[in-house]
A and B are shown apart, each in its own frame.
Chain A
Amino acid sequence: MTLDKLVRALELTVINLGSGVSLPEKEFNGVYAGDFLSRAMSHVHFDELWITIMNNRNVIAVASLTDCAAVILAENVELLPEAFEAAVENGITVLGSGKSVYELCVAVHELTLRDE
């Protein structure tokens, strides 16, 4: 499924669009949810969505290392200024939502089921 479809269906905000990323073209494949960054580092896979409430510069570093499709910040969490700067510099796509991590997981799950 494309990020564009996801953003529209879940009414996500686009906090930063990675350089060269086009939402209608960028596909995601799978989801990881969790806030323990060292764990996320080994559990977020290439082209997955990563749902978290962590908002510091280290989040962007982990997203960059794992090559995930996008980071979704739950519960209306905002990126810290230095993290936003890193997201822009490193071309990381960051999306936002007022939903909780659990609600986002359920919503993404239902959306992908409908899509099949």
Chain B
Amino acid sequence: MDELSLYVLDIVMNSVRAGAEHIEISIIEEGEWLTFTVKDDGCGMTEEQLKKLSDPFFTTRKTRKVGLGVPFLRMLAEMTGGSVEIKSVHESVSGDHGTELVARFGRHHIDFVPTGDMTGTVITLIQGSPDIDFVYRHKGDGFDVRLDCNELKAVLGDGISLAEPEVLAWIREYLNDQYSPSGE
């Protein structure tokens, strides 16, 4: 994974698998840091699961016994002088359950990777889970990109899925336009 967008996809898929209905994704590039946050209302994790999360030999998958999503993310964060913090409330503990992951990267560090195709990543997520309300924000040098699937659904009304090709094509253009505000 030589682009940040691949890490983002990998981490957000954990929220999708946790049965989340709302997932907030934000990437804020400011000064020397890039801060990537994912907040979901999925089933959450128990304290024991949370403790083991950065261990590659822990995974909730049934198909294989190794999970490298969070370990790789933590490795990249720490290599660039940053960190990963995860807070989670399991559904057995509270009705207000979910997980919040905050990863900080030294964005000018020599070992940091390019951001990659974030528009493509967001499209992939919406296409795979059109019923989930994704809220996306990416603020960087000269752009501040926002997308709220809730707002889109309110405009489109019931019966039109966000996974319709026309809708996805519109979202792609909407995101790309915001990434190049001057219309380049």
A-side residues, CB < 8 A to B, are 36-39, 41, 56-58, 60-62, 64-65, 86, 89-90
| Bound: A109/B6 CA distance, A | 34
A61 near B2: Cβ-Cβ < 8 Å: no
B72 near A37: Cβ-Cβ < 8 Å: yes
B66 near A65: Cβ-Cβ < 8 Å: yes
B66 near A38: Cβ-Cβ < 8 Å: no
Q: Interface readout for B1-23 with A: 1 if CB under 8 Å, 0 if not?
A: 11000100000000000000000
| Bound: A58/B75 CA distance, A | 9
| Bound: A57/B55 CA distance, A | 8
Q: In the complex, which of the residues A37, A65, A89 contacts B75, with contact meaning CB atoms closer than 8 Å?
A: A37
B64 an interface residue at 8 Å Cβ cutoff? Answer: yes
- Chain A residues positioned under 8 Å from B2 (CB to CB): 36, 38-39
For the complex with contacts A57-B56, A57-B57, A64-B57, 19 further pairs of A-B residues with Cβ separation under 8 Å are: A37-B68, A37-B75, A38-B1, A38-B6, A38-B72, A39-B2, A41-B68, A57-B71, A58-B56, A58-B68, A58-B72, A58-B75, A60-B56, A61-B56, A64-B65, A64-B66, A65-B64, A65-B66, A86-B57
| Bound: A89/B56 CA distance, A | 13
Known: A37-B72, A38-B72, A41-B68. Contact between A61 and B57, CB under 8 A? Answer: yes
Report the minimum CB–CB distance from B52 to chain A (whole Å): 12
Report the minimum CB–CB distance from B121 to chain A (whole Å): 16
| Bound: A89/B66 CA distance, A | 13
Within 8 A of A (CB), among B50-100: 55-57, 64-66, 68, 71-72, 75
Q: In the complex, which of the residues B1, B6, B68 contacts A61, with contact meaning CB atoms closer than 8 Å?
A: B68
- Smallest CB-CB separation from A42: which chain B residue? B1
- Chain B residues positioned under 8 Å from A89 (CB to CB): 57
- Chain A residues positioned under 8 Å from B65 (CB to CB): 64
| Bound: A17/B56 CA distance, A | 21
Report the minimum CB–CB distance from B8 to chain A (whole Å): 14
Report the minimum CB–CB distance from A68 to chain B (whole Å): 13
